[in-house]
């Protein structure tokens, strides 16, 4: 589970609930089914009108997925450098058949890496491997950020439906001013809670989720570019130390992989 994401959501809504508790004893005043239906229902309806249904469903699933740890950590990047360097030694000793034998387990776990290994084993040059994988990385990224764009769109739509709910409540309030002044309060409550729901859902759910989804995809793209460079260097039969220095140039100095340090530990 992504503890930081969960704590962020709980902290955000917790502060809102605490403010309500400190302000009034009538907590049910902030629970209006009419407002919820107008904001959430309207936002979902607009999303399904604007985008293909499967993309909207994917976006909603992405909101749940950010609660789990699927991000690329700094240690993973260092591990990827070390793995490519190890493959460099294997190629020096056993050639491409040795690489293919060693990478069988990885192929089942990582489609991008499996595809890149196929290019290397096939015999493409380093330049060709780099170009093909760069195209793969960018096109994959564009596909994967579609849910983030949908969530961002929903984040912009939710406050608009909150305003629609506000207008509905005001119409009810003004209509009852002459015949039934007692219902003015209910109409005004619907009006204000609709705006509240629209802003809360946008600023605490849809927009933060869109940013988190896009950030994770950017990290995956960065990791894939790092691997693409390493695989291209394998195709060029570069030495393990050159592979280390070239791939380390992509990383923060604090997480550089060191062949010498690993040897000392061994």
Residue 159 and residue 199: Cα distance in Å, rounded?
A: 5
Q: Which of 87-96, 138-147, 188-197, 232-241 has the lowest mean pLDDT?
A: 188-197
Q: Rounded to whole angstroms, what are the CA distances from 11 to 5, 40, 141, 151, 204?
A: 10, 21, 31, 21, 10
Do residues 146 and 54 make contact, with C-beta atoms less than 8 angstroms apart? no
Report, as an integer, the average pLDDT of 209-238: 96
Residue 85 and residue 83: Cα distance in Å, rounded?
A: 5
Residue 70 backbone phi and psi in degrees, to 5: -125, 20
pLDDT in tens, 10-53: 899 899 888 888 888 887 878 888 889 999 999 999 999 999 99
- pTM to 2 decimal places: 0.86
Do residues 207 and 152 make contact, with C-beta atoms less than 8 angstroms apart? yes
């Amino acid at each position: 589970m992504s503890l930081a994401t969960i704590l962020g959501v709980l902290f955000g809504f917790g502060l809102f609930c605490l403010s309500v508790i400190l302000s009034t004893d009538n907590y049910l005043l902030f629970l209006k089914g009419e407002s919820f239906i107008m904001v959430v229902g309207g936002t979902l309806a607009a999303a399904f009108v604007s985008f293909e249904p499967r993309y909207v469903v994917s976006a909603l699933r992405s909101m749940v997925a950010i609660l789990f740890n699927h991000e690329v950590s700094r240690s993973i990047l260092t591990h990827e450098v070390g793995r490519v360097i190890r493959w460099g030694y294997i190629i020096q000793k056993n050639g491409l058949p040795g690489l293919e034998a060693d990478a069988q387990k990885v192929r089942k776990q990582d489609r991008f890496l499996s595809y890149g290994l196929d290019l290397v084993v096939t015999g493409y040059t380093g330049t060709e491997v780099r170009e093909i994988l760069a195209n793969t990385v960018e096109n994959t990224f564009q596909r994967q950020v579609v849910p983030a764009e949908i969530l961002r769109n929903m984040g912009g739509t939710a406050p608009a439906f909150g305003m629609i709910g506000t207008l509905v409540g005001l119409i009810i309030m003004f209509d009852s001013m002459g015949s039934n002044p007692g219902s003015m309060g209910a109409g005004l409550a619907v009006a204000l809670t609709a705006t509240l729901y629209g802003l809360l859902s946008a600023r605490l759910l849809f927009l933060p989720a869109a940013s988190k989804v896009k950030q994770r995809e950017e990290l995956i793209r960065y990791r894939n570019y790092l691997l693409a460079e390493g695989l291209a260097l394998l195709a060029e039969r570069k030495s393990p130390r050159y592979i280390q220095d070239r791939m380390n140039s992509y990383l923060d100095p604090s997480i550089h992989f060191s062949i010498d340090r690993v040897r000392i530990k061994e």
